[in-house]
Chain A
C-alpha cells in the first residue's frame, strides 16, 4: 500500500508549531527583502567621439547613457549614438562604452 508520508507530516500539534515557524520565516523574508540595502550601480562610461575632435573621456555615473542622450564633454556637447557593454557588470561596477557625435552649434547670423 502506498502511503501519504510519515507520521510527522500529519501530526496536528507538531504541524501547528511548524505553521508558526513557517509564517515567521515568510515574514522574516518579506522584511529582509524590504530592508535590503539596494545596490546602486556605478557605471564607468567611456565616451568616444567618432570624429576624433574630442579625446576619449571616462565619466563615473549612476545612470547608464542611452542613445540620444546629450552629454557635455569639456567645451563640446556630444550626442550618444550607441552604447556597448565593454565588460559585464561585476558587483556594483559596470563598464560601458558610448559612441558619440558632436552636436553642431547653431550658426550665428
Chain B
C-alpha cells in the first residue's frame, strides 16, 4: 500500500487530492495536511473585499469531502520534511503535539508565503495597506472600504491606490479585478465622482500582467493588452503608474523607485497592494539532521523541479523546454511540487534592474487554472507510479492553455469582466514563430457582460468541483 501525502489544499493540492482519493483512495493511503479546514476559492475574494459576497460563499469544508473520497485529513501545519526518512512532521491545529506522517510520495502544494516583511509598512497586520490575498484580510478590507464609503457620503474625496507592493510582486490580475470592482461599486453607489483611482504596478508596460503582455487578433488586426487596458482606464477615468517598485509605505505615502532609478512617492487614503510571493518556509532535513533546503528549494523558497534553472532571460526566451514538465524534484524523485510552490526557471515579463541595482520585475503568475492543471498532472503521474511504476503525463507552461476572467463589476445584469484567454501561458517562440509566441487564433482579450456570466459560472462550477460531487471530472480545471 502506497502512502501519498499532500501539503496544502489550495487549487493544486485540493485538485490532486480529489483525483488521488477518487482513483486510489480505497487501496492506498492518501493524506492531506492543511492549515485550514476549508478550501478557499481565492478568485472571488475581490468581491468579499468590497462586501459584495459573503465569506461562506467562497469556502468549502474539507473534512466531509475527504471522508467521502478516502482521503485522511490532518488539520495542521507541516513544519519539517525528512526526504531520506520519507516522513513529514506536522503540528495539529488543536495545539496537540507534533505528529509524524510517513509517505512514499509527497506533493508540496503549499502556495505562496506572503512576504509582508519585504516592504516596510505593507500589509494589514503591521502595515497600512489592505489585502485580498486571504479570507480574513479580505473581510477586513471590506470593513475598511465601507468606512471610506461613509466618509465619501459626507463629501470627502478619497484616493484609492491599488496594485502591487513590491518590486518583484506578481498577481497583478487580482489587483486589477479589485480596482475595477471598486470602480463599479462606487459607480453604482453614486460615489465615483468623489474618488480618485490609481493603478500602481511594477509591470514594464500597462497590461503586461506578468506574462509579457498579450497580443490578440481582432477584425484582422493585432491588438495589444497595453492598448486594451489603457483604453479601459481612460474610459473609466482611472490613472496609472507603471515601472514602479514600491519600497516603503507610511500612513500617508507610498514610496517607490522607478525604472530610471528615481525615487518618488504617491499619496493615498486607501491602498490594496499585493505583496511579494515567496516559498513557504518548510525545513528540509536529511538523515544526519542537516538542513538540506538548498537541495530542494531555491533562494526564494520555491521547490526546485525538473526545469532548467539559471538561464539568462534571453536564452530562456527561446528554450520552452526549460520550463518544468512533470514538476518532480530532481534530487528526491518522490517529491513533487504543484501550483505556486514550484520554482519557475525565470520571469515571463522582461526583467529590469535600475541604475541603483533594484530588480523591478513582475514575477510569473500561476493562476487557479494553471495550479489546478499541475495538481491534476502530478496526481495522475503518482497514480501511474503507484499502479504501474511509470510517469505518463507532462505539461509545461509553454504548452499550457489558461483562461483568466477578471471581474470588472459583479452584477449579472449590468456588470462586466475581462476575458483573458491565453495559449500558451508562457510564450513559445519556437512553436509560434509569429513574434508573440502565442496562438493568435485562441489568445484573446475582451470586456463585456458575457465575461461576467462566465466568471459567475466558473465560480459555481469550481465550487461544485471542489466538493467532488457527481461528474466533477467533466469540469476542466
Contact = CB atoms under 8 A, between A and B. Distances in A.
Interface of A: 1-6, 8-10, 12, 15-16, 18-19, 22-23, 25-26, 28-30, 32-33, 36, 38-39, 41, 66, 85, 88-92, 94
Contacts of A89: 308, 319, 321-322
B461 interface: no
Contact of A4 (B322, B409, B421): B409
B449 A90 contact: no
Contact of A22 (B315, B416, B423, B451): B451
A5 B320 contact: no
Given A9-B449, A32-B442, A2 B193 contact: yes
A91 B416 contact: no
Interface stretch (B38-46, B143-151, B395-403): B395-403
A88 B399 contact: no
Interface in B438-475: 439, 441-442, 444, 446-451, 453-454
A81 B25 CA distance: 38
Question: A-B pairs with the 4 shortest C-beta distances?
Answer: A19-B450, A33-B401, A29-B401, A18-B450
A2 B236 contact: yes
Contacts of B421: 22, 25-26, 29
B442 A92 contact: no
A26 B430 contact: no
Contacts of A39: 320-321, 396, 399
B237 A12 contact: no
Which range holds the interface residue count of chain B? 35 or more
Contact of A18 (B184, B311, B400, B448): B448
B263 interface: no
Nearest to A94: B321
B403 A29 contact: yes
Nearest to A20: B450
B128 to A, nearest CB: 27
Interface string B80-111: 00000000000000000000000000000000
B311 A12 contact: no
Given A22-B419, A39-B320, A88-B316, 18 more contacts: A2-B193, A4-B184, A4-B409, A4-B416, A9-B416, A16-B450, A18-B450, A22-B446, A23-B454, A26-B421, A29-B442, A33-B399, A36-B399, A39-B399, A89-B308, A89-B322, A94-B308, A94-B321
B187 interface: yes
A8 B430 contact: no
A24 to B, nearest CB: 10
B239 to A, nearest CB: 12
Contact of A90 (B232, B319, B451): B319
Contacts of A88: 308, 311, 315-316, 319, 322
Given A5-B235, A91-B430, A33 B423 contact: yes
